[in-house]
Structure formats: structure tokens, C-alpha cells
Amino acid sequence: MAPVRSLTIIVSFVGFLSGLTATAQSQEAAKETTKSPAAQRPLGIGQTPTEELIKAWNIDIAPDGANLPDGSGSVAQGQKIFADTCAACHGEHGTEGPMDRLVGGKGTLETKKPIMTVGSYWPYATTLYDYIRRAMPLTNPQSLSADQVYAVTAYILNLNKIIPDDAVLDKHSLPAVEMPNRDGFEHITAPGGVTCMTNCEPLVGAPKAAAPQAEPQK
Amino acid sequence: MTKSRNGTAIDRHRRQFLKTAALGGVALGGAGFLTPEAPAAEGTEASPLIPPSMLVQGKPVASPPYGVPSEFEKHVVRLANDRTATPFSSWSFTPLQDLHGPITPNGLFYERNHNGVPTINPDRHRILIHGLVERPVIFSMDDLMRLPSISRIYFLECSGNSSSEFTKPATDIRWSHGLLSCAEWTGVPLAALLQEAGVRPEGKWILAEGADAAAMTRSIPIDKAMDDALIAFAQNGERLRPEQGYPVRLLLPGYEGNMSVKWLRRLKIGNEPFMTREETSKYTGLLPDGRASQFNFVMEAKSVITRPAAGGTINGGPGLIQITGFAWSGVGKVRQVDVTVDGGRSWQSADIDVPILPKALTRFRLPWRWDGSPAIIASRVTDETGYVQPTREALLAARGNEFHYHYNAVAPWKIDAGGKVTNAYGAGA
């Protein structure tokens, strides 16, 4: 079945249905919606959120730094917060674990034992702010203030020698931080196999197959 | 057991299979009825003439009100991963070796949570759509129920399913393939919700956010959102289980499981990917040259034999068995499944259960007369685009050992003379 086509049918069907049920709904509800954008919604379902609600929910941070909050934090401030709230899981130096290693690994990605950390692998510093604010610490998420998140972000970047000891991060300086692996990502299509029914290479212990050409895909 | 005229060879054609199966049936029937070991009138302890279940009343109806499996099936449970640093960001495996059809029972559906399973009151749950839209809108669950919903069968596979096979091949099919399940999902097409908000022409990506303690976020391409994405609130006919996103989740057919964000709370339309932690530092594949492949959304065609499978045993010795398993493709339908019983030197096409549904688990089956000698068996799928499941050698040659995600290579199982089944690539995990 063609999904787009079937969807069109369904949406038009419900458009028809909603026309019928609208008469059964209270006249008051109709009055409330006539002044709001809801009246323009094709099916008239849902509410128009207030600006305050959208602002409170809208916590994601884009790579360009859009939506970063006011406030600031220094490496020194971050060191104390990290010791108190992060080191138990990530280690005193961000390398010991047991949870994700945050520090080091520079120059290891192309080796047999790559170490993938904020410093060696993450392409955007803004992602660090976004993730700490929404999900860290694991046992008490969304408990850090905007200033504290800036500070912890600064400390982790400093441990990775990406920003200096006296750095202070805010909504202007954070998106300007250049991550070492910024250009390390692209999309590679998956390799496929071949159909062979008789006299095929055995699966286990077979000579190594020639590497299929992986074509970058836009 | 009657010996097949075909010996140990796989029966190539369906007609031959039916003939062979019939012979097997006669042989089994003969053992059971024509030459009983004990006189029928006396019965045995294992098979009494009148079983106890016929001599006492059974349990009344609704015992219990929400039915549970037989007490003799208590071993059929999910396997929790006990090797992660915390059970709150961890996963549990579906027991594929004990499943008998393409639909995974809700209690056996694999889990991957990033900071625990939240408890969410549906009356207080909302979904916000904002960003590059004409009319920001917020939906309650009651609102969602007023919209048109459809039911579709789709698999879900964790992007990291089979990641063990890159480095340390697992000894058990649950560890190697158990982050795979399939269900009938009921929900509202995401396109219908987006139509209510009115996506602006420059809106190309959607950030989906969960209401869990990880506040999970992934960027979804607008084309996928408008194609077959569902806002799902039910699974196999009942409301979602808490660990599957209750009260509502995103469901992106054929895409890596992580993108089908559970406990969905917010959809923000933007013009670029949002570059969240889960699509930069995780769910990206590291290549041998140090570059990484990003946005590997589609789960490529893959198949695995679920019986007999690594970690199990062929009970009852040599004779007729049914090799069975699942095949699937994130781009569409399964076209063909080939099976080998000689380590990959020769392959024969298996029977495929119908209907063959796009982006759903498809069951295959091939009868085999195992002669009791060691063997290596495996399956290989071709999907409707002509894409063929690669060998492990081909996959590793292209992606190296550190890619971690999207492992979809052929999985050979080794059977020893005693019927014990192991991973042919050796035990590592």
C-alpha cells in the first residue's frame, strides 16, 4: 500500500467525520476556537499552547547556539561541580568510569583501539550543554542551573584541552568552540552481499573477501 | 525414525518437502500408535490412559483476569543485560529461540531504556508541536483518540542489535540477535498531526523528545515523518506497555529503534538536524580510517535462524527437524530467504510464510534431515530491492570492527554431534 496515498484518504475521511461531529460539540467550544489559530487547523483538534509553555518546554540547543539560555560558567566553577555531581560515575578525571569516558582519546579514532570521548569524537560543544541540561546527572536529571551547566561544560572541554583554564562559557562563547572531530562525520551506505547457490565460499574460515567500495551518500 | 531417500540433503523443492514431511509424519505416527511399547490399556506415568486433567475441575474463568502464559512456559522471559554499568540505562533481550511466530508478545518485547521506565499518567500527558509551523498545537491523549488511527505490523530492531558480532561473537542468540521484536502498532499517522500544525516549507527535520528521565531526543527527516511514521498508542491490540512508551511513542517503520522515541512529549520542526547526543556521540559508526558514518537510519535486510540457534540443542537426536527463523528489511518486503546446511558451500531457498509484509518480521522454514554429524547452518535474505544480506567477512571489510551499530551479516550456527548449537564464529561473549 502506498502510505502517502492511504494517508490522504484517511485524512480526508476524518475531515468529513469532524465536520459531522463538530455540530454535536458544544457551541461554547466553537466560540473559544474561532478567535484562536485552532480555527484554522484542518481537523480542529488540539489546543493552542501559550508562549510560556513553549518556552518552558523548548530546551534543545542547536549547533549554532540558538536557544542557549542567559548565564555563564567558568572552568574553575565547573571543576567543583564536576567533583560533587559527576565524578562518581565518570571518574575524578573524566577517564575512569564506570560510565562513559569523557576525556582523552585524541588521535585514537583510526587505531585498533579507538577511545571515543567528548574530546576525541563529539562534533559539537553545544551538544554537551544540551545533553547535560536535559539528562545529567543520571540520578537527578534537570537539577543543574543554567550557570552550572555552562560551568560543567567548560570544565569537561578544558579537561580535553579544547578551551583554556581561564575560559568562561556563555551563549556567545560556547557555540564558537571548535571541536577537533567536527568534520569526522559523513554518511556511508551499507555493504551488501551476493547471491551464490552452489560452489560458494564457506562462511567460516573463508579467505577474506575484497572490500566492497563504500560510496559516500549525500 | 524412517530414513529419507534424500539422506541429509535439503529438499530443494516444496513438493519434495511435503513428501518428506509426510514420510516423517508416518514414521512418528508409527512410533506412537502402531507399535506402542506398553499395552495401551495400562498407560504409563508419562502418558496415563486418563490424564489427571480429566478427573478434576479446572480453574474458573478469568483466573487471573489478565491472562498469563502457562506455568510450564515460565522460562520464556526477556533476558536482562547484567553487564551494563547501571540497569537504568540498559537493555533486555527478546527470547527469539522460544518464539513461534512473527508477532512478539508484549511481555517479551525487547527493551532499551536510557534512564529507566517512567510512570506517566495519560491524563496529564501532552504532545507539543512547535518550531517551523504555522500553528503551534498541543494534544492531549483524548485529542489523539479523536484523530484517525491505523494498525500496521512493523518490526523494531535496536541499532546495536548484534553489535557483539563485530568483536566478540555471542554464545547465545538472545545476546546476538535479541534486540529485535515485531508488533502490530495502532496510532495516528504523524502526517495528520503535522497537518494540524502546518509545517512551513523550510521545515526539513523534526526533533522528537521523550518524557523520560533521559529526555531522549532524535532528529527525524521530514520525508520519513510524512511517509509512514506513526504516533502509536497501542501495541498488539492493547495500550502500550510502560517500557514501550506508555502512553504514546513515535514509531518509524524500518528505522533504527532508538529513533522511535518512547514517551513522546514534543515535536519541534527545524531546518537542520539538531545534532543531539544520540545522533553524534552514539548511534554513529566508526570506520577503520577514523571517520564515522552518521544518520544510518534504515535497518538493512537481515535474517537469522531462531531454531535451532546458538545456545540451544537439537533434542531427540538425528532425523527430521524444521529449520526456522526470521527475515526482515527496513526498506520493504523480504523477497527470498536461502538456507545452507553445509557451512555456506550450497544454499537452498526456504519457504516463506505469507502474508509478506513490508518492514515486518517474515518467518521462513526449511525441513532438514539431520544425520547427526557436525554441521554449520545459516540463512541469507534478499529484500525486494535486490539487496542481499552480506557475510560477516564482507561487512567487516567495509566497516571494520568498531562500527558497533547496524550489524546485519549472515549468522552461521554450528551444530555438534550431540546436537548442541553454538555460534560458528566462536565464543567470545
- B125 with B158, same domain? yes
Output B60 or B429, whichever has higher pLDDT. Answer: B60
The pLDDT of A30-47, averaged and rounded, is 68
B362 has a pLDDT exceeding 80 = yes
Predicted pLDDT of residue B169:
95
Beta strand spans in A136-203 (E):
168-170, 185-186
Percent of chain B with pLDDT over 70: 90
- Answer yes or no: do B213 and A48 touch at CB < 8 A: no
B-chain CB neighbours of A11 within 8 Å are 148, 189, 191-192, 195
Residue B97 lies in a domain: yes
User: In chain A, what are the domains?
Assistant: 72-170 (1.10.760.10)
Question: Is B186 inside a domain boundary?
Answer: yes
Q: Could you tell me the pLDDT band of residue A206, with boundaries at 50, 70 and 90? A: very low
Same domain, B112 and B170: yes
pLDDT-wise least confident of A90-99, B29-38, B367-376, B414-423: B29-38
Residues B264 and B146 in one domain: yes
Does residue B238 lie within any of the structural domains? Answer: yes
- 3-class DSSP assignment, residue B367: strand
Say if residue B114 is in the same domain as residue B262: yes
Give the tens place of pLDDT for each residue, B218-245.
999 999 999 999 999 999 999 999 999 9
Query: A with B: how many residue pairs have Cβ under 8 Å apart?
Result: 254
pLDDT average, residue stretch B85-89: 94
Greater confidence (B21 vs A82) lies with A82
Q: What is the DSSP letter of B112?
A: E
Within an 8 Å CB–CB cutoff, is residue A15 touching chain B?
no
pLDDT band with cut points at 50, 70 and 90 for residue B45: confident
Least confident of A5-14, A100-109, B135-144: A5-14
Under the banding of pLDDT at 50, 70 and 90, the label for residue B50 is very high
Which chain B residues are within 8 Å of A48, Cβ to Cβ?
A: 135-138
- Secondary structure of B211-271 as H, E, C letters: CCCCCCEEEEEHHHHHHCCEEEEEECCEECCHHHCCCCEEECCCECHHHCCCCEEEEEEEC
pLDDT at B427: 61
Whether residues B275 and B315 share a domain: the answer is no
pLDDT for A25 equals 41
Residues in chain B with CB shorter than 8 Å from the CB of A98 are 85
Is B104 contained in some domain? yes
- Which of A191, A215, A84, A32 has its CA nearest to residue B410? A191
Q: Which residue of A has its CA nearest to B398?
A: A211
Domain assignment present for B50: no
Cα separation, B107 vs A170, whole angstroms: 46
Average pLDDT over residues B288-305: 98
Could you tell me if A194 lies within 8 Å of chain B, comparing CB atoms? yes
- Mean pLDDT for B396-418 is 97
Q: Which residues of B305-325 are buried (b: 16+ CB within 10 A; e: fewer)?
A: bbbbbbbbebeeebbbbebbb
**Chain B residues inside the 8 Å CB shell of A203:** 340, 343-344, 376, 378, 391-392, 410, 412, 424
pLDDT-wise least confident of A19-28, B140-149, B171-180, B317-326: A19-28
pLDDT value at position B66? Answer: 98
Interface with chain B: mutation pick from A55, A122, A203, A218, highest number of B CBs within 10 Å: A203
* DSSP β-bridge partners for residue B127: B139
Domain end position, chosen among B272, B293, B314: B293
Burial class from Cβ neighbours inside 10 Å (0-12, 13-18, 19+) for residue B124 reads exposed
pLDDT, mean of residues B277-282: 98
pLDDT at B2 over 60: no
CB contact under 8 A, B345 and A59: no
In the predicted structure, residue A33 carries a pLDDT above the cut 50: no
- Length in residues, chain B: 429
Quickly count helices (H) and strands (E) in chain B: 7, 24
Asked if residue B106 belongs to a domain, the reply is yes
What pLDDT score does B15 carry?
41
Greater model confidence, A59 or A214: A59
| Of the partner residues A58, A124, A194, the one whose CB lies closest to the CB of residue B130 | A58
Q: What is the CATH number of the domain that holds B340?
A: 2.60.40.650
Nearest to A57 among B128, B399, B406 (CB): B128
A11 with B192: Cβ contact below 8 A? yes
B159 CB-near residues (< 8 Å, 6+ apart): B256, B257, B258, B283, B296, B299, B405, B406
For the ranges A4-18, A167-181, A198-212, B15-29, the one whose mean pLDDT is highest: A167-181
Mean pLDDT computed over B26-54: 61
Residue B194 has pLDDT above 50, yes or no: yes
Question: Is B163 found in the same domain as B240?
Answer: yes
CA pair distance A51, A71, nearest whole angstrom: 21
- Predicted TM-score (pTM) of this structure: 0.86
Q: Considering B258, B293, B328, which residue would you say is the last residue of a domain?
A: B293
As a whole-number percent, the residues of chain B with pLDDT over 90 amount to 88
Checking if the pLDDT of A214 tops 90, the result is no
Q: What is the pLDDT of residue B424?
A: 97
Average pLDDT over residues B87-98: 97
Q: Which of A4, A16, A21, A45 to mutate to test the interface with B (most CBs of B within 10 A)?
A: A45
The backbone region for A79, taken as left when phi is positive above 0, alpha when psi lies in -120 to 50, beta otherwise, is: alpha
Average pLDDT over residues B185-214: 97
The helix (H) or strand (E) run that includes residue B383 is strand B375-383
Q: What is the mean pLDDT of residues A79-88?
A: 98
Residue where a domain terminates, one of B234, B264, B293? B293
- What is the C-alpha to C-alpha distance for residues A158 and A79, in angstroms, rounded to an integer? 10
Overall number of domains in chain B: 2
- Residue A39: predicted pLDDT: 64
Q: Which residue of A has its CA nearest to B392?
A: A203
Residue B273 and residue B386 in one domain:
no
pLDDT band at B270 (very low <50, low <70, confident <90, very high): very high
Q: How much is the ipTM here?
A: 0.87
Task: Say if residue B393 is in the same domain as residue B345.
Answer: yes
> Does residue B27 surpass a pLDDT of 80?
no
For residues B309-322, average pLDDT: 97
Find the angle CA(A17)-CA(A22)-CA(A28) to the nearest 5 degrees.
165
Domain range spanning residue B248?
Answer: 90-293
Q: Both B282 and B307 in a single domain?
A: no
A37: confidence class by pLDDT, cuts 50, 70, 90: low
The reply to whether B206 and B346 lie within a common domain is no
The alpha-carbon gap from B332 to the nearest alpha carbon of chain A, in Å, equals 11
Same domain, B204 and B261: yes
Shortest CA gap A77–chain B (Å): 24
Mean pLDDT for A35-46 is: 77
Asked if residue B316 has pLDDT above 60, the reply is yes
pLDDT of A116-133, one tens digit each? 999 999 999 999 999 999
CB A41 within 8 A of CB B135: yes
B46 — pLDDT class (breaks 50, 70, 90): confident
> Which residues does chain A have within 8 Å of residue B425's beta carbon, measured at their own beta carbons?
204
Residue B165 and residue B221 in one domain: yes
CATH classification of the domain holding B209: 3.90.420.10
In chain B the first and final C-alpha atoms are separated, in Å, by 37
According to the model, what pLDDT value does residue B426 have?
86
Q: Is residue B264 part of a domain?
A: yes
Is B210 contained in some domain? yes
Q: Which of A169, A171, A147 is nearest to A158 (CA)?
A: A169
Top pLDDT among B28 and B249 is at B249
Question: How close B186 comes to chain A (CA, Å)?
Answer: 14
- Which whole number is the average pLDDT over A150-167? 98
